[in-house]
C-alpha cells in the first residue's frame, strides 16, 4: 500500500531527477539555436552558453534543499575529499595548474553535484520516468534539426559529434521502452534516432548502441533460460523472436551496414561512420598518438602519475580513454585499484537479480561509460557521474528502491478524507 511518505519521497526524487536531466534538454536546445541561426563560430555563442549554464544552475539549486535534507553530511564530505585531491594535485603538479584552474568550475559545479544528486535518489523509478520524458523532448528537437540539415536549410559540416551524442540518449531510452513495454512507436523512434546518428554522427554513439544491444541480448538470454517456465506462451514467443532477430543481426551486421550505406547514398547522404566501420583496419582518428604520448609520460612517473588534467598539457586535449586517464591522474598502483574497482562494480551491477535496476544500469553504462573508451573526460562528463552515482546507489544504499507510483488521483495530504454525508 502506498503511503504519504512514499508519495512525498517520490515527488522529491522527481525534483532531483528533473534537475539532473535539465542539462541534457538545455544543451540540445542550445545546440539547435546555435546551428539554426549559424552562431557556432560567433561571439553570441558564448552568451547563449552562459545563459544555458545559469538555467541549469537554477535547476540544481531548485533541488538542493531536498539533497541537503536527505544527507547534508555526505554532501560536504564528498566536496571536502574532492577539494583535498585537487589541492594536492595543484601543489605537486605545478605544470598542470593552468588547466586545473580552467576546469575547476565544470568539476566542482557540474560533475560533483551531479554525482551527489544521483546518489541521493531513493526511488529510481522516478529518475527513469524523468529520463524517459527528457528523451522525448530531446528527440523532437534533434529530429527537427536533422530535417533542416537534410533539406539544406542549415549546416554543421559533414557530421556532428554533439548531435549524435544528444540523440544517443533518445535511442537507448526508446530501445529500453520497446524491450520493456513492446511498444511499436518506441521502436520506430529508436530506429529514426539510430539512422540519424549513422547519417550525421560519429562512431562513438554507434559503439554505445551496439554495446547496449549486446548487453540486453545476453541479459535476455540469461532470463530466457532462467524464467522460461514462468512466462506466458505469448511473452515466451516474443522473447524468443527477439533473441533470434538479435542473433541474425549480429551474423549479418556487415551486410546490413552496407545496405544502409547504399540506401543513404541514394538520398545524397555519405555516412562517415558507416564508411569507417566498413574499412578493414581500425581508424582511431589520431587517438593512438594521444595514447602513446600520455602512456610515455605515465611511465616516467609510475607511482604518482602525472596529475589530473595533465593530458591537456601533453596533447592539448583529453586522452580519449577512461582507463589511461585514471592511470594518468593517480599513478599505476592507485589507478589499477580504481580501474579494477569500477570493473567489479559494473559486473556486480549487471548480475543483480532486480531486473528493473539491472536495465537501468545497462542504460547508463552505455550512456555514461562506454563512450569514455574513445571520447570525453570522466572528470567533466555529466553522464559518467550519473552512472557512478547509480551503481553506488544500487549496490550500497539499502534505501534504494524501484517502485513506480502513478500520481493520478493520489491524495498527498496527511488529512483523512471528509466523512460521507448520511441522508435521512
Q: Which residue has the cell 557521474?
A: 385
- Interval 339-348 mean pLDDT: 96
- Interval 158-163 mean pLDDT: 84
Report the first-to-last Cα separation within the chain, whole angstroms.
Answer: 34
DSSP letter assigned to residue 401: B
d(CA 412, CA 7): 7
The pLDDT of residue 281 is: 60
Residue 353 has pLDDT above 90, yes or no: no
pTM: 0.89
- Interval 208-235 mean pLDDT: 77
The pLDDT of residue 152 is: 84
d(CA 331, CA 275): 38
How far is residue 98 CA from its own chain's centroid?
A: 29
Residue 110 has pLDDT above 50, yes or no: yes
Q: How many residues are present in the chain?
A: 424
Residue 250 has pLDDT above 50, yes or no: yes
CB atoms within 10 A of CB 191: 14
- Element containing residue 66 per DSSP (H, E): helix 44-92
- Indicate the SS3 state at residue 316: coil
Q: What percent of the chain lies above the pLDDT cut of 90? A: 59
The pLDDT of residue 400 is: 74
- Element containing residue 116 per DSSP (H, E): helix 112-120
Q: Which residue has the cell 531486473?
A: 355
404 compared with 197, residue with greater pLDDT: 197
Count of alpha carbons within 13 angstroms of residue 187, beta-carbon side: 8
Is 308 in contact with 329 (CB distance < 8 Å)? yes
Using CB atoms within 10 A of its CB, is residue 346 exposed (0-12), middle (13-18) or buried (19+)?
middle
How far is residue 162 CA from its own chain's centroid?
A: 13
The pLDDT of residue 249 is: 73
CB atoms within 10 A of CB 408: 5
d(CA 182, CA 130): 20
pLDDT tier at 58, thresholds 50, 70, 90: very high
Count of alpha carbons within 13 angstroms of residue 6, beta-carbon side: 15
Residue 412 has pLDDT above 60, yes or no: no
Amino acid at each position: 500500500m502506498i503511503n504519504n511518505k512514499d508519495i512525498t519521497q517520490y515527488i522529491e526524487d522527481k525534483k532531483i531527477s528533473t534537475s539532473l536531466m535539465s542539462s541534457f534538454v538545455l544543451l540540445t536546445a542550445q545546440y539547435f539555436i546555435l546551428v539554426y541561426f549559424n552562431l557556432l563560430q560567433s561571439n553570441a555563442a558564448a552568451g547563449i552558453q552562459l545563459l544555458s549554464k545559469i538555467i541549469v544552475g537554477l535547476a540544481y539549486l531548485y533541488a538542493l534543499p531536498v539533497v541537503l535534507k536527505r544527507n547534508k553530511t555526505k554532501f560536504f564530505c564528498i566536496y571536502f575529499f574532492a577539494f583535498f585531491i585537487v589541492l594536492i594535485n595543484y601543489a605537486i603538479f605545478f605544470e598542470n595548474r593552468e588547466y586545473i584552474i580552467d576546469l575547476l568550475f565544470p568539476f566542482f559545479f557540474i560533475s560533483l553535484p551531479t554525482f551527489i544528486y544521483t546518489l541521493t535518489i531513493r526511488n529510481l523509478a522516478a529518475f527513469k520516468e524523468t529520463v524517459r520524458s527528457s528523451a522525448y523532448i530531446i528527440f523532437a528537437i534533434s529530429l527537427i534539426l536533422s530535417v533542416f540539415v537534410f533539406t539544406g536549410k542549415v549546416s554543421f559540416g559533414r557530421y556532428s559529434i554533439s548531435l549524435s551524442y544528444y540523440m544517443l540518449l533518445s535511442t537507448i531510452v526508446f530501445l529500453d521502452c520497446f524491450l520493456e513495454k513492446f511498444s511499436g512507436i518506441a521502436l520506430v523512434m529508436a530506429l529514426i534516432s539510430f539512422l540519424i546518428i549513422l547519417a550525421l554522427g560519429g562512431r562513438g554513439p554507434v559503439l554505445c548502441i551496439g554495446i547496449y544491444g549486446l548487453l540486453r541480448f545476453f541479459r535476455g538470454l540469461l532470463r530466457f533460460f532462467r524464467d522460461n517456465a514462468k512466462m506466458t506462451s505469448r511473452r515466451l514467443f516474443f522473447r524468443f523472436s527477439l533473441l533470434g532477430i538479435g542473433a541474425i543481426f549480429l551474423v549479418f551486421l556487415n551486410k546490413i551496414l552496407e545496405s544502409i550505406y547504399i540506401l543513404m547514398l541514394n538520398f545524397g547522404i555519405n555516412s562517415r561512420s558507416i564508411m569507417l566501420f566498413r574499412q578493414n583496419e581500425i581508424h582511431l582518428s589520431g587517438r593512438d598518438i594521444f595514447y602513446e604520448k600520455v602512456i610515455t609520460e605515465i611511465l616516467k612517473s609510475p607511482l604518482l602519475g602525472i596529475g589530473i588534467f595533465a593530458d591537456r598539457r601533453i596533447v592539448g586535449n583529453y586522452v580519449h580513454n577512461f582507463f589511461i586517464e585514471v592511470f594518468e591522474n593517480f599513478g599505476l598502483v592507485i589507478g589499477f585499484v580504481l580501474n579494477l574497482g569500477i570493473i567489479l562494480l559494473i559486473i556486480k551491477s549487471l548480475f543483480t537479480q532486480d531486473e528493473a535496476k539491472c536495465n537501468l544500469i545497462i542504460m547508463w553504462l552505455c550512456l555514461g561509460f562506454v563512450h569514455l573508451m574513445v571520447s570525453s573526460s570522466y572528470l567533466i562528463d555529466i553522464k559518467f557521474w550519473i552512472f557512478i552515482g547509480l551503481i553506488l546507489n544500487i549496490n550500497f544504499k539499502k534505501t534504494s528502491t524501484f517502485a513506480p507510483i502513478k500520481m493520478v488521483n493520489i491524495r498527498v495530504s496527511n488529512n483523512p478524507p471528509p466523512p460521507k454525508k448520511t441522508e435521512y
